[in-house]
């Protein structure tokens, strides 16, 4: 008896059959979602609150490699990276749309795996999938997600409103996702270069792999800030790397900054992997990208409130614009920060 799993060509269903198959079991949870999948457009009612909208594009071969990216993890990540942008506006995500360009190499079962991750992320973060689009592709898989969220009037946070003497704060730890990617790429090359096809050995690095393959958005940090009635002066999510994203805040605010090496939070597993691969862990933390932590600035008099929020570290302060953006080493040397993080067009 064959154990081979059934594989259903997507052509057996057609576009609308595929949409019905993937979204037929989705129910709406939020009062603002009046109409979701199944019409020409979603209908939303925010009853006077501010709406934020963000879109992200994930392209096979550029943003992900299916050799080591499970489709369920990929679907989850596609949603989460958009929700992270919503949280970075101090908003609460409520709806997403998902659009796919799919090549003929993918089966219905493969799309079920992808949407399994999409649905899990929506469930975990309490958002509604309210629409999207599908089309064919000759170059693999492309995923486009649009996320919508709501925020009370007067509480939206932007990148360009940092102020002199603000404390610079970051959630979580940095560089783990980048090191997870380096490990995956190392094992991929070893596998491809070996005549016997050496199987990957990634034991002991589960945390780094999860940060790369299945990241989480920092909903908990936004909730903690709201509980303390604390609205940051500026905020951004760390998708391109600490150096690049902090410089976005500074340049758009007309400010400078000083951050300190001994304050940068780095997980021990990141340090261990970096040493194993002869990489400076602080370079990973500054330039790695895809951490999806929140970087924000708050007034100096909120120091004690920030100290009470779990998993947030104060790493420096905002300075006048003419002082530049500085990284202060453990030895007291000041190095000019360089925007060396992820560049999608390189």
* Sites in the chain below the pLDDT cut of 50: 1, 342-346
Distances from the Cα of 144 to the Cα of 79, 118, 122, 141, 211, angstroms: 9, 12, 15, 10, 21
CA 194 vs. chain centroid, Å, equals 33
**Contacts of range 330-339, beta carbons closer than 8 Å, 24 or more positions apart:** 330/261, 330/262, 334/258, 337/243, 337/246, 337/247, 337/257, 337/259, 337/286, 338/243, 339/243, 339/244, 339/247
Q: How much is the pLDDT for 175?
A: 97
Domains of the chain by range and CATH?
Answer: 10-151 (3.30.1330.10), 167-336 (3.90.650.10)
């Amino acid at each position: 008896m064959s154990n081979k799993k059934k594989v259903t060509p997507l052509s057996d269903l057609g576009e609308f059959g595929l949409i019905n198959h993937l979204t037929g079991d989705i129910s709406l949870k939020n009062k603002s979602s009046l109409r979701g999948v199944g019409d020409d457009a979603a209908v939303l009612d925010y009853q006077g609150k501010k709406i934020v909208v963000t879109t992200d594009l994930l392209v096979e071969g550029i943003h992900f490699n299916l050799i080591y990216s499970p489709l369920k993890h990929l679907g989850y990540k596609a949603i989460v990276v958009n929700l992270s942008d919503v949280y970075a506006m101090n908003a609460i995500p409520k709806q997403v749309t998902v659009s796919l360009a799919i090549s003929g190499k993918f089966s219905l079962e493969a799309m079920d795996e992808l949407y399994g991750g999409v649905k899990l992320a929506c469930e975990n973060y309490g958002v509604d999938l309210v629409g999207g689009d599908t089309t064919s592709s000759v170059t693999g898989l492309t995923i486009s997600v649009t996320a919508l969220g709501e925020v009370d009037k007067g509480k939206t946070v932007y990148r360009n409103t940092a102020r002199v003497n603000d404390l610079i704060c970051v959630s979580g730890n940095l560089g783990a996702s980048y090191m997870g990617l380096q490990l995956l790429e190392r094992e991929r090359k070893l596998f491809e270069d070996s005549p016997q096809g050496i199987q990957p050995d990634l034991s002991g690095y589960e945390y780094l792999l999860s940060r790369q393959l299945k990241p989480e958005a920092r909903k908990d940090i936004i909730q903690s800030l709201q509980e303390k009635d604390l609205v940051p002066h500026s905020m951004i999510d760390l998708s391109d790397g600490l150096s690049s994203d902090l410089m976005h805040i500074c340049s758009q605010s007309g400010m400078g900054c000083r951050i300190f090496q001994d304050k940068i939070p780095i997980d021990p597993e990141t340090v261990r992997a970096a040493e194993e691969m002869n990489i400076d862990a602080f370079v990973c933390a500054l330039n790695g990208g895809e951490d999806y932590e929140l970087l924000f600035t708050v007034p100096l008099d909120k120091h004690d409130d920030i100290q009470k929020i779990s998993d947030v570290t104060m790493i420096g302060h905002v300075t006048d614009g003419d002082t530049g953006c500085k990284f202060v080493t453990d030895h007291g040397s000041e190095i000019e920060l360089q925007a060396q993080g992820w560049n999608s067009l390189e």
